[in-house]
Structure 1
């Protein structure tokens, strides 16, 4: 089962199609990059994958299922523009966001350190 499956996804705003019949899959244990020029629909695609916005048509599954409130707790999204917390370090951002999900600071730091070490960061 692929980790991510995007199938025939379309998204438009007014009369402008920003994602047009996009399909791809990401196999388990693979690193995947979504690259393209400005305006290609990368951010829109990621936001649809995170269920922040809904596609007009098509299907997106993560870990074999459509996103539910429970499965959303297994995902994270840190937008490029760094949102409202521009002065926070990456680690501080991770700890803050983990606290929103009920994790204490120490556990969040330990888990973040472990994951960052696994990825060589």
Structure 2
């Protein structure tokens, strides 16, 4: 009988503008990223994905240079990945034009941060 290999990949789906103030949502994104980066420091094989490029953009604008360095350099190692290129989760987007706008915003952000593997 063959051994079964099971891969678990943590994911954070956090809509930073749904049911709370946008500042609170983005700060929750920072806290989530900080926590997963600490876990990655403990386990080199940990892989993590998240879905909103707005969180990465927020990290890039904050006064947390150490965290920026950890987030924007670690993905190049293949242990981090962004699941989607939208600024916010697509289910909250009501119109095709809005969805397209968010998608292109995420792609623009991705191009400005080539170390992020999308």
TM-score range, shorter chain: under 0.3
Of structures 1 and 2, the one with the larger relative CO (CA 8 A, separation 6+) is 2
More helix per residue: 2
Taking structure 2 as the reference length, the TM-score comes to 0.27
More strand per residue: 1
Q: Which structure would you say has the larger Rg?
A: 1
Taking structure 1 as the reference length, the TM-score comes to 0.27
